[in-house]
Amino acid sequence: MFGNLTWILLWAVLPTLVYLGIGLYILSLEQKKGPGYKLPALVYFISVPSLIVIVIALNFSMNYETGRFESANKPAGYELYKFLVLKDIIPRSGQLLDEKEEIKVVEKKKDEVKVVEKNEEKLVSSLSSPLDKILKTDEKYYALVIGNNNYEHLEKLDAAENDAVVIADVLKNKYGFEVDLLLNADQETTVDTLFNITDKLKINDNLLIYYAGHGELDKAENRGYWLPVDASYEKRSKWISNQTIVDRIKATKAKHVLLVADSCFSGTLMRSGTNLQNQEPIDERYIERLKNKKTRLVITSGGNEPVVDSVGGDHSLFALKFIDTLKNSENVINSQILFENIRRYVVANADQTPERAQVHKTGHDGGDFLFFPK
């Protein structure tokens, strides 16, 4: 508390007193030395605040142009930046893949679907298919879905386990995935299963890895970790490094891999991820091109920050929109459409910003992960 008071005193109260003192001194010269000081005092009172506004505006502009508002350490002015983005006054800045350009979709009958659940209107982007026919695929789809609630040494979570169960069900029954579901798994089980599934896949296979549970950031290493249920702060050997996950994504032969992490500090998975943008209409030819290109993408529920487990419901905000989007899609969608639905909803309802990028140095070649309903 005293630190905040000191900061306010140094950067707000004292400069204001000095500013007023100088202005009043100039005015006092009118009495001491005669007329001629009112105009300089007026210029002073107007020019100083104007210069301050200009400096603030330039600083905001520099932070925006260099992408600092999308970095882990948010600079001053972030709340204003967030407000302007949410109101669609300015596009997002920075090096993350997503919102600078919206997907240009051929218009069909319905542009937007509004869903009301628990008396709350949720944000849902268009799920009306712009394609002339329902597309199918004969490629094999696999998923490793992990949900950890019952931690032995850490605070228990409320929604991760249920998130994993429902997501596994949607992937299996609507999209035809072969699913490995791990609930409250320890470090050995998690790592062994990760190695088993990434080793068995073939060149035309597709793999989705979904993790819901605790995450931690080692600031000295600048590296994130997944925390299985037997992890503790005293026994770091049970932590699973993000680099281990990335190495397995690089090693697997699967053509398309999408990693989804709903955990704190998952933004470290984005390190040096290259900015990707799409301006093409989603048509059959475009979908076919995405299918043929190697894909290594990651979607996270936030940056290098804590994220919300649940808000009294059955799912985290991130998982809720992930499930909702997949359930409501009647034709193939790619991860960009899925992500945009999630991002808009989460940003509007929580102090976290989902992110999407390619997984750095894993061989991404411009493809995308596609979800084909059965």
Residue 34 has pLDDT above 80, yes or no: no
pLDDT per residue as tens digits for the range 129-162 = 456 678 889 999 999 999 999 999 999 998 999 9
pLDDT reported for residue 130: 55
**Which span out of 113-122, 184-193, 296-305, 362-371 was modeled with the highest average pLDDT?**
184-193
> What does pTM read for this prediction?
0.65
Instruction: For the beta carbon of residue 129, count every other beta carbon within 10 angstroms.
Output: 20
Under the banding of pLDDT at 50, 70 and 90, the label for residue 95 is: very low
What pLDDT, on a 0 to 100 scale, did the predictor assign at position 309?
64
pLDDT at 307: 64
pLDDT above 50: residue 117: no
Q: Which residue has the higher pLDDT, 73 or 254?
A: 254
Highest mean pLDDT among 30-34, 177-181, 239-243: 177-181
- Percentage of the residues of the chain whose pLDDT score is greater than 90: 45
How would you write the chain as a 3-class SS string? CHHHHHHHHHHHHHHHHHHHHHHHHHHHHHHHHCCCCHHHHHHHHHHHHHHHHHHHHHHHHHHHHCCHHHCCCCCCCHHHHHHHHHCCCCCCCCCCCCCCCCCCCCCCCCCCCCEEECCEEECCCCCCCCCCCCCCCCCCEEEEEEECCCCCCCCCCCCHHHHHHHHHHHHHHHHCCEEEEEECCCHHHHHHHHHHHHHHCCCCCEEEEEEECCEEEECCCCEEEECCCCCCCCCHHHCEEHHHHHHHHHHCCCCEEEEEEECCCHHHHHCCCCCCCCCCCCCHHHHHHHHHCCEEEEEECCCCCCCCCCCCCCCCHHHHHHHHHHHHCCCCEEHHHHHHHHHHHHHHHCCCCCEEEECCCCCCCCCCCEECCC
Facing residues of 224 across strands? 217
At 283, list the tokens: 């048509």
Confidence of residue 283 (pLDDT cuts 50, 70, 90): confident
pLDDT given at position 138: 93
What is the average pLDDT score of the chain? Answer: 80
Q: For residue range 245-263, list pLDDT tens digits in order.
A: 999 999 999 999 999 999 8
Quote the CA–CA distance of 238 and 227 in Å, as a whole number.
7
Structural domains of the chain, with CATH: 2-86 (no CATH), 115-371 (3.40.50.1460)
Confidence class for position 218, pLDDT limits 50, 70, 90 = confident
Q: What is the pLDDT of residue 273?
A: 46
Residue 112 makes CB contacts below 8 A (sequence gap 6+) with: 124, 125, 126
